Structure 1
Amino acid sequence: MIRNILRAAAALIVLALPAHAIDIREVTSPGGIRAWLVEAHDIPFTALEIRFRGGASLDAPGKRGEINLMTATLEEGAGDYDSQGFAAAQEALAAKFGFDVDDDTLAVSARMLSENRDKAVDLLRSALTDPHFDQASVDRVRGQVLSVIASNEKDPGAIAGAALRKIAWPDHPYGTALDGTAESVKALTREDMFDAKARVMARDRMVVSAVGDITPEELGPLLDRLLGALPEKGAEMPPAVAPKLSGGVTVVPFDTPQSMVAFAQPGLAMDDPDFFAAYVLNQILGAGGFSSRLMDEVREKRGLTYGIYTYLVPKDLSATWQGGFASANDKVAEAVKITQEEWEKAATGAVTDQELADAKTYLTGAYPLRFDGNANIADILVGMQLNGMGVDYINTRNAKVEAVTKDDVARVAKRLLDPAALRFVVVGKPVGLE
């Protein structure tokens, strides 16, 4: 569930880039690698972001968790360095590398000073093209992953997210946690790490951005040196799938004084013509904090929860509209009922002029404050590429939000909000729910 929230936040942050803020240039390396570049020579620093489409959804059949384990082991020894040597080399160069994975992407981040850029790139290249995956490192990281899995099995929020995923995508990689299970992770071998890397880290699914003290003439050869040796093609992508969500409540018994609730219905893709109208509607319904309808009805008027939220989750292969809250066991049934009622009201499409104006003001005015620093901009640029946005998007984004009308909101509400498909998962000892 937390990963879904973060994925949704990352996707929606892309929708908030301030107009006319940056000048994006498209660069193609001599070897044909394409990237987006924003030059910023005020400080001698460059941020580099690389994304590989597919992410953990490209786990081999029966080996759930292999790409997650591989990603976490990438910098545990590479090239001429063992694990400690690799970390020491990063520190000596004042460089910072990051490796992460979610259901849709494997992310590589790099921050480097201009004076050390060539050496930092060579070090990063060793992790991308020549990781050791030695047995001791694999076993050590495996232990860390198993600890996370064990912790999640005792976490009501994680249990709710897992149950909701299984309902929505029973026969798809999205339906299981990308960490894998204790059994699947224990069975992974060192050879699986090399296979996992080849499945996902390939040039046919790669997007790149760079922001900072680097020119197009410098960036092109750097990309070839860093990424040119990666395989041309990776594993076949999984198919797109519709979430199999139907209305009702699923209760997962768990001994806790407070129930955790996750809920979802089918959503819409980011390239859907109605996405901006849905984005505004979601702000009104549940993403607007204390100004949202759900927060007002469930918390402010009735005191049933400390907080309730909704968010759009436009994954690459399936889209949902999700939300969640926590409530005392003796109050959670009423909280679920009020949420269902507000969903039904929202499905009529009726919004006030004030609600629409407030949502637009927030979406066009608050988010741009987040976009400061080379690293943030580099992250946004790869998100734009992954979501098929052109370089001119930053000049049109706010206008798209402002153009949403009450009729647009009504249309998307009637089209998408479906109380009959809203599935709740309640983890706890809820009174009045079975």
Structure 2
Amino acid sequence: MKKNLLACFGLAIVGLVAFAPAGYAMEVQRVVSPGGIEAWLVEDYAVPIVAVNFAFAGGIAQDPADRPGLANMLSGMLDEGAGGMDSKTFQAKLDELSIGMSFDAGRDDFFGTLKTLAENKDEAFSMLADAVQKPRFDSEPIERIRSQITISINEAKKDPNSVASAAIRETAYPGHPYGQPPEGTVESIAAITAKDLETYRERVFARDHLKVAVVGAIDPKAVGAMLDQVFGPLPATGKLAEIPDIVPHSGKVDIDMPNPQTVITFGGPGPRRNDPDFMAAFVANHILGGGTFSSRLYGEVRERRGLAYSVGTTLLPFRHSAGLAGSTATRADRADETAALIRSEMARLAKDGPTAEELAKAKSFLIGSYALRFDSSSKIARQLLAIQLDDLGMDYIDKRNGLVDAVTLEDVQRASQKYFTTGTELMVRVGPHES
């Protein structure tokens, strides 16, 4: 009896889905390594590139209360020397081999990306393994990264958009990890040590909540070997602090700042990603302010009245909360008028719903533009990772446009009534006092 070659290598492909969001068929394979680590893989040999995107549950929300900015600082340190290579040697080798490696601390997850030529994948995987498992945290790069972050924090204090973002975050999530500054404070960054960085890494970098997406010129056997090499030595389970669920608080904040315009940020509770009304709210948001040039807010605030250059809204489905957020900037003497107009447009959509034409145009755009999320290996890997993190299932890529198309006028009105009536109960304005 002929043996399964994959089984001989201890590798399992336990799922396969075909989809064609970008105009040609691709297959998503669920690969399980010999060590039991799972990844989603799209093999694509059109160009000799391999892209790897991964995430550990944790992110900024896992920063200790007295060390905000720890996760963000760690994200800047992981490619600053690892294993036997110091920072200069590590960076030089990345450049020599044309390897792209980066890390980022999101609200709920800690992300990593790798992009390499297929011919250099073995060395790239080895360097990634060192960065994840054996970062050096040498004093010179620590102080350099610390200085860069400190400069960024101080510069943000002069930027009205950053000031508004900080104020709305603190108002929406008082006393909660979501309310902490992602970059930290000058004081907290000054206090972070190499031991703090290593302690965070040891708590968060674990296999139990790891998600991995791989796209490019690589087969399942090589993916399985990479998974065990890079992630296999990590702890089986992390030691994450429990994060309580929270509904965004309401509040009004006015901050006097002598900038030319008044920045207005606003928001309220929104749908979780697993909310049955999420897709209806997604379409409703596009009609309201997510559609940029086609949105109601853009038409009313900019085109008809010339109150602002841009205005928009977005949904923020975090893991322990969910919000609707929006922003604009206008003349100080017209800030009240602009804020009132935003409120009235949200209320009007909640009361009357969209027109049939608005709904048709929104669905057409959202369906047609979905393919643009899959036009490169990096974008495909990013989308596959996001779908895993949102627990949408491997078949979501096939189902997504159908879910958008199924949204009705009644669905949009219901979602608008549910979320837009509270969409400006949280508002921050940063600008000259006369606003």
> TM-score scaled to structure 2, two decimals?
0.92
Structure 1 residues 316 and 420: alpha-carbon distance in aligned structure 2, compared to 1, 3 A threshold: closer
Residues of 2 paired with 1:411 and 1:97: CA distance? 44
CA distance in 1, matches of 2:206, 2:245: 24
CA displacement at 1:236 relative to structure 2: 2.1
Q: Which residue of the other structure, out of 276, 292, 295, is the alignment partner of 2:295?
A: 292
Residue from 425, 428, 431 that aligns with 2:431: 428
| Counterpart check, 1:214 vs 2:198 | no
Alignment of 1:210-249 (within 5 A): 210-246=214-250, 249=252
3-state SS, counterpart of residue 417 of structure 2: helix
Residue in structure 1 matching 2:327, options 319, 324, 329: 324
- Cα displacement string for residues 231-255 of structure 1 (whole angstroms, at most 9, x for unaligned residues): 2222324324223422x63101111
Q: Is 2:138 aligned against 1:134?
A: yes
Whole-Å separation in 2 of the counterparts to 1:298 and 1:373:
35
Whole-angstrom distance in 2 between the partners of 1:355 and 1:397: 20
Query: Can you list the C-alpha shifts for 1:5-31, whole angstroms capped at 9, x where unaligned?
Result: xxxxxxxxxxx9558752100000010
Rounded to whole Å, the distance in 1 between the matches of 2:177 and 2:188 is 14
Q: Aligned equivalents of 1:350 and 1:112: distance in 2?
A: 48
AA at the equivalent of 2:420: L
Worse-superposed segment, 157-166 or 104-113: 104-113
Distance (Å, rounded) in 2 between the aligned partners of 1:234 and 1:19:
40
Corresponding residue of 1:401: 404
Is residue 167 of structure 1 aligned with residue 199 of structure 2?
no
Aligned pair 1:264/2:267, yes or no?
yes
Residues 351-407 of structure 1, C-alpha deviations (whole Å, 9 max, x = no match): 111010010011001232242111110111100100001111111111110000011
Aligned residues: 416
TM-superposition CA deviations, 1:270-310 (whole Å, max 9, x none): 11111110011001111112221111111111111011100
Contact 1:260 1:426 in 2 (8 A): yes
Amino acid at match of 2:370: Y
Letter in 1 for 2:169: R
1:342-381 equivalences in 2 (<5 Å): 342-381=345-384
Deviation at 1:92, TM superposition (A): 2.2
Residue 180 (structure 1) aligned with residue 206 (structure 2): no
TM-aligned CA deviation for residue 347 of structure 1? 1.7
2:200 aligns to what?
A: 196
Report how far residue 214 of structure 1 moved.
1.0
Q: State the alpha-carbon separation in 2 of the partners of residues 199 and 175 from structure 1.
A: 21
**Partner residue in 2 for 1:22:** 26
Q: 2:257 aligns with which of 254, 261, 264?
A: 254
Cα distance in 1 for residues equivalent to 2:25 and 2:308? 39
C-alpha distance in 1, partners of 2:423/2:396?
35
Decide whether the 8 Å contact of 1:19 with 1:394 is kept in 2: no
Number of the residue aligned with 2:162: 158
Moved more, 420-429 or 128-137: 420-429
Q: Is the CA contact (8 Å cut-off) linking 2:166 and 2:181 kept in structure 1?
A: yes
Q: Which letter maps to 1:193?
A: L
- Gap change, CA 1:349 and 1:195, over 3 Å in 2: farther
Q: 1 or 2 for the larger relative contact order (CA 8 Å, sep ≥6)?
A: 1
Q: Which residue identity lines up with residue 312 of structure 1 in the other structure?
A: L
Cα gap change, 1:19 to 1:277, in 2 (>3 Å): farther
TM-score, normalised with respect to structure 1? 0.92
Corresponding residue SS for 2:211: strand
Alignment of 1:33-182 (within 5 A): 33-182=37-186
For 1:34, the aligned partner's letter is: E
Counterpart-to-counterpart distance in 2, 1:311 and 1:346: 16
Identity %: 39
Give RMSD over aligned pairs: 1.6
- In structure 1, the residue corresponding to 2:315 is in which secondary structure? strand
SS of aligned partner of 2:338: helix
Moved more, 421-430 or 222-231: 421-430
- Following superposition, the deviation at residue 314 of structure 1 comes to 0.6
Q: In structure 2, list runs of 5 or more residues that go unmatched.
A: 1-19
Superposed displacement of residue 417, structure 1 = 2.1
SS in 2 for 1:218: helix
